[in-house]
């Protein structure tokens, strides 16, 4: 993870982490290539459906893990999330004043994205390849670069607090 921040702006580049699954896929793919054409053609002949599916799965899994990255850009007006995957680049832009309830998700969640927030009433998740320490480091840098915006992002919409404020009971 690379962070570049100055007052009013924070840019974060998240590169995929090398995992044991990627290493295993690389070893299996290398094994297929080292077998040579004669054994590979025999495997295609003996298992005409399973072998191509296995090779396609291995190559696409490696490509997805090795070539993907995620960019986050916070400024005083917007949050821009770019997910760079091969042949599939997604860019989402959210006005910062509609973003609330930013939270760090733990390792037990089903989704691998580390952050989750509400943007215009919709749940948005990002930060797939971050560990917990990197996520908290990002929040610290966000607090330094944009103190007001980080307060708004982390604030949860609590109906009780809002009602007490409206009635001047607090």
What pLDDT was estimated at residue 10? 92
pLDDT at 47: 86
pTM beyond 0.75, yes or no: no
The domain in which residue 157 lies consists of 2-16+69-166
| pLDDT per residue as tens, the chain (170 positions) | 889 888 889 999 988 766 777 778 778 878 877 877 777 788 888 888 888 888 888 887 777 666 678 899 999 899 999 988 777 788 999 999 899 899 998 876 667 788 999 998 899 999 888 888 999 999 999 988 888 887 888 877 655 544 444 444 54
* pLDDT recorded at residue 165: 45
Same domain, 96 and 30: no
Q: Are 73 and 56 in a shared domain?
A: no
Query: Would you tell me how many other CB atoms lie within 10 Å of the CB of residue 153?
Result: 23
C-alpha–C-alpha distance, residues 5 and 59, integer Å: 36
Helix axes 132-145, 147-154, angle to 10 degrees: 130
Both 76 and 142 in one domain: the answer is yes
Residue with tokens 């990255």: 69
Q: For residue 151, what are the CA distances in angstroms to 40, 70, 139, 165?
A: 58, 23, 11, 18
For residues 87 and 37, what is the distance between their CA atoms, to the nearest angstrom? Answer: 29
How many domains would you assign to the chain? 2
Q: Are 126 and 74 in contact (CB under 8 A)?
A: no
CA distances from 58 to 94, 151, 163 (A): 35, 43, 55
């Amino acid at each position: 993870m690379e962070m570049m921040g100055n007052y009013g702006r924070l840019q974060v580049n998240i590169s995929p982490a090398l995992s044991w699954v990627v290493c295993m896929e690389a070893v299996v793919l290398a094994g297929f290539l080292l077998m040579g054409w004669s054994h590979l053609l025999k495997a295609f002949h003996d298992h005409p459906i399973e072998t191509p599916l296995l090779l396609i799965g291995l190559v696409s899994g490696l490509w997805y893990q090795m070539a993907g990255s995620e960019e986050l850009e916070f400024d005083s007006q917007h949050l821009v999330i770019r997910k760079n995957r091969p042949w599939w680049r997604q860019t989402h832009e959210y006005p910062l004043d509609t973003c609330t309830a930013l939270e760090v998700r733990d390792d037990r969640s089903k989704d691998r994205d580390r952050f989750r927030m509400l943007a215009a009433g919709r749940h948005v998740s990002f930060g797939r390849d971050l560990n917990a320490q990197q996520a908290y480091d990002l929040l610290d840098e966000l607090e330094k670069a944009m103190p007001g915006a980080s307060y708004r992002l982390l604030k949860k919409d609590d109906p009780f607090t809002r009602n007490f404020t409206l009635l001047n009971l607090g």
